[in-house]
Chain A
Amino acid sequence: SQQGEEDPQALSIQEGENATMNCSYKTSINNLQWYRQNSGRGLVHLILIRSNEREKHSGRLRVTLDTSKKSSSLLITASRAADTASYFCATLSNNDMRFGAGTRLTVKP
């Protein structure tokens, strides 16, 4: 069964704009991870945030985690056409990792 649910399902923005994707989950977690999947390719790990962390940065990526609301957000700043992909959150809970259905991001040049 799925754990994380991403929102929105699809997002279309112009190059240079920021993109925000959200993930909600149901059970307590050990950590939450974000992955990117280009069309026809495998998933690539982007960033991991532990349950005792609230915010993490990596380059143009910013992830927040609110365990009281059981939600996380992924912000991509100054988006580029190459950021076009599907983005998935994955929650780890008791050695069990579950993925959401993903947000399809399209960045128009």
Chain B
Amino acid sequence: DTAVSQTPKYLVTQMGNDKSIKCEQNLGHDTMYWYKQDSKKFLKIMFSYNNKELIINETVPNRFSPKSPDKAHLNLHINSLELGDSAVYFCASSPESGNTGELFFGEGSRLTVL
């Protein structure tokens, strides 16, 4: 019954590896997001998709590539992982396009790069 689910919850990997985090929402929302929360708890938007189309792409390295196969899924692929990529990544969805309303967050995926 989880509304926004993301996997894996924990991911430990070596520098230089490529990894993916998956996100699915069963709320029927049109808009999905990826946020990054660093060790100081700052929450920063990375990407936003509306009905499979990219609408927000913050200043994020090209090593990060979101993919939305359908409007219920938004996956995050990270190439050539670096130490600074260690953070908690949150997927979220919103029922309204244009980011006007309440966000529904997943439980987060804690990425540790060694």
Contact residue range for chain B?
20 to 34
Prevailing SS type, chain A contact patch: strand
Whether B105 contacts A43 by the Cβ 8 Å rule is yes
Known A33-B102, A48-B101; contact A42-B108, beta-carbon cutoff 8 A? yes
- A3 CB to nearest B CB, Å: 11
Which of chain A's residues have a CB closer than 8 A to the CB of B99?
A: 92, 95-97
Whether A95 contacts B108 by the Cβ 8 Å rule is no
Complex Cα gap A99–B43 (Å): 6
Whether A96 contacts B56 by the Cβ 8 Å rule is yes
Whether a CB of chain B sits under 8 angstroms from the CB of A41 is: yes
Residues of A in contact, count (CB < 8 Å): 23
B43 CB contact (under 8 Å) in A40, A45, A88, A92: A88
Known A41-B108, A42-B90; contact A2-B103, beta-carbon cutoff 8 A? no
Binding site for A on B (CB under 8 A): 4, 35, 40-45, 56, 90, 92, 98-108
